[in-house]
Amino acid sequence: MQENIYIVGHRNPDVDSVCSALGYAAYKAATGNANYKAARCGISNARIDRILKKFKAPLPEYLGDVRLRAQHVMRRDFLSLPKDVSCYAVMDMIDRYDLRSVPLLDSAGKMLGEVSVFDLGEFFIPRPRSPREARRVRATLNDVIKTLDAEAPAVFRADEMEDMFVRIGAMEVSSFGSFIDKEQLRPEQNLIVVGDRFDIQIKAVQMGVRGIIITGGYPVDAAVLEMARQKSVSVISCKHDSATTALLVRMATRAEPLMRRDFSSVRREALLSGIALKKKEFSGGTIFVCSREGKLEGVFSRTDLIDPPRRKLVLVDHNELSQAVTGAEEAEILEIIDHHRVGGAQTVNPILFINKPVGATCTIVSEFFMRDGLRPDKRTAGLLLGGIVCDTLNLKSPTATSADAEQMRRLEKISGVNASELADYVFGADSVILSSPPSQTVLADCKFYENDGVKFSVSQVEELGFDNFFSKFRELKDALEKLRKDRALLFSALLVTNVIKQDSLLLICGDENFVSKIGYAWDSERGVFELPGIVSRKKQLVPYLSGLLKDF
C-alpha cells in the first residue's frame, strides 16, 4: 500500500487554500496518482463551509502536526514472552528471529523488563566467586522437563520454584557424593545428570538427591524407578547426551531474575527528534513504546533514528515554512504550488515549484487540468471557481489577472455556476467577525512573516461593511495585541476589507515607532488607518509594510 502524500494549504486556511488542495488532489487522481490526499492544518470558517456545502465536498482531513513520533516508526508485530519463561525460551527466540533482546510481559501485557543476549551471556559464562555458582539452576522441575523435552516417569513437587545445582555423575561410585560435602550442599539440592550408570543412579537415589536425569535415551531401570518413588526422588529421561543435558538444564533457569528493569521506554506520542537527542541516555539497542499504564505497544531500534522515513507533503497557496503545517521542516516537501512572494522554504532535493503571479492558487490548478487536456468534474470545477472568486474578490482585486478571468470563464461552463452569483452567495455568508470569537477572528486568515529577522503578522477579514468590525473593535484589538505578545512579534495587523466598496481599514498593534511610519490616513476617533482602494494583503499591504521595515 502506497504512503499517503498530503496536499496542504497554510495555517489558518482560507477558501483558496482549501479548494486548491481539494482541486490538486483531484488532478493527481485524474493523472493516476490516487495516494495524494487533500488536507488542512487549521480550523475551517463560515466562508469555507459555505463553499464546501454548495458543492457537496467534504472538509479535508485535519493535519495539525507532521513531525514524526515514536508511533510512526515502531513495529507493532513485536515478539514477547511471559515473565515466567525460561532462559532457553528467550535464547531460542533471540536466535530464531535474530533479535537483540526479548521483552517480558505480565498477563495484562505490561512490560516488566527485557532480557538481552548479553544478559544471557553473562549468566552462562560467569566469573563465579565459587565453582558451584556455575551449576546453579533457579527453576521448577517442570521448567527442566520442558527445556529438555524430556519424560518424567517419577516427579515430585514439579511446580516448586527452587535453587538446584546440576552435576554430571561421571566419577567412580566410591567417590560419588564427596562433592556434596565439599560444597556444603544438601543432597536434595542436587540434580544428577547421568548416563547408563546403574551404580551411580542407585547411589544418587539412596542419597536422596532432588532428581536424576538419565541421558542418551537409555531406559530407566525398574529397580531405580521403584527406589526413586519410595525416596521421593524425581526421575527424568531425555535423549540428549550428558554434556548437552547439563547445559540445557542450566538454561531452564527462569529468565526473570536476569531481566533488566531499566529498559529504554518512550510513549507513542514522543517526538523522534527529541528521542534522537537523548538516545545516548538509552541503554541497549531496542527502544520500547509503552502506554501510560506500561502496556507494551511497539518497539524500534536506535538505528531507526538515523534516517527515519519522513512525511511527504505538497504545499499549496504558500511557500514559507512559518505559514506551513507544524513540522513541515522535518517533512519531505515534494511540490509547492503558490501565487505569493517567495519566502525562505528550503528543500534537500530539487522539487516542482510553481509560483505564478495570478490572483489565486486555484487558477494554477485549473490550468494544470487544461494543460493536460483533462476536464475536472462539476464539483471540482465549482471548488476551483470558488477559490478564484474569493481570492480575487470576483476579479475586483488588484491581484486578479487575465489568467484568473480565463479560468473563471472555463470553470463556470463546467460547473454550471455563475461567478457573480457565487460571489453573492459566498460574501453574503455570516460575518466572520460576528460568527467567531475575537481570538479566532484574528487567526481565521492570519499569515506570519519574517523580514531580516523581524517577525510580524497580517490577518484579513472580508465584510460587507464595517459595522460588525466596530461593534467588536475593543475585543478584536485586545485579541490582536495578545497574538502579538504571544508570538513575540514586532506588530500584528488586521486588515478589514469592505468587499462592496473595495476599500479597507487597518487595525495594528505593535511598536509605536514603526506604527508612526505608516503613511495612510489615521482616524484618531476610531483608532484605525483608512486604506482606500486597498483590498489585497499579498499585493498591496504586505509589500508596503515590508518596505517600511527596510528603513526601520
**Same-domain check for residues 542 and 440:** yes
Angle at 504 between CA 500 and CA 479, to 5 degrees: 120
Q: Residue 455 pLDDT > 70, yes or no?
A: yes
For residue 383, pLDDT over 60 is answered with yes
Do 42 and 57 lie in one domain? The reply is yes
Task: Please report whether residue 189 resides in a domain.
Answer: no
Residue/partner pairs of 410-414 with CB below 8 Å, 24 or more apart: 410/366, 410/370, 411/366, 411/376, 411/381, 411/382, 411/384, 411/385, 412/385, 414/375, 414/376, 414/378, 414/381
Between 171 and 416, residue with greater pLDDT: 416
Question: Which residues are registered as beta bridge partners of 38?
Answer: 7
For residue 352, give the CATH number of its domain: 3.90.1640.10
Q: For cell 460547473, what's the residue?
A: 415
Q: All 3 cell numbers of residue 483?
A: 497574538
| Pairing label, strands 111-116, 101-105 | antiparallel
> Are residues 440 and 423 part of one domain?
no
The stretch 358-387 carries a mean pLDDT of: 97
End position of a domain, from candidates 405, 427, 449: 427
- 112 occurs within a structural domain: no
Asked if 341 and 413 sit in the same domain, the reply is yes
- C-alpha 331/C-alpha 328 separation (Å) is 5
Checking if the pLDDT of 130 tops 70, the result is no
Contact of 3 with 345, CB cutoff 8 Å: no
Report if residue 178 sits inside a domain: no
Residue 445 sits in a domain of what CATH number?
3.10.310.20
Asked if the structure places residue 281 within a domain, the reply is no
In terms of domains, do 411 and 387 share one? yes
Confidence of residue 176 (pLDDT cuts 50, 70, 90): confident
Q: How many domains does the chain have?
A: 2
517/490 Cα distance (integer angstroms): 14
Q: Mean pLDDT across the stretch 485-496?
A: 96
Residue 499 pLDDT class (50, 70, 90 cuts): confident
Domain that residue 478 falls in: 432-550
Strand partners, 506: 495, 529
Instruction: Give the CA distances from residue 275 to residues 70, 264, 329, in Å, rounded to whole numbers and listed in that order.
Output: 8, 11, 17
**Residue 83, all three cell numbers:** 515473565
One domain, residues 399 and 439: no
- Give 390 or 285, the one with higher predicted confidence: 390
Enumerate residues 6+ apart whose C-beta is below 8 A from 58.
52
Q: Which of 128-132, 360-364, 479-483 has the lowest mean pLDDT?
A: 128-132
**Sequence-distant (≥ 6) Cβ neighbours of residue 480 within 8 angstroms:** 442, 459, 492, 493, 494, 507, 508, 509
Query: In the beta sheet, which residues pair with residue 346?
Result: none
Q: Which of the listed residues 379, 411, 427 is the one where a domain comes to its end?
A: 427
The answer as to whether 185 is a domain residue is: no
Same domain, 368 and 466: no
Range 250-279 average pLDDT: 88
CA dihedral 219, 223, 224, 229 (to 10 degrees): 120
Domain end point (choices 411, 427, 443): 427
pLDDT (average), residues 164-193? 82
Place of cell 536466535: 95
**Percent with pLDDT over 70 in the chain:** 95
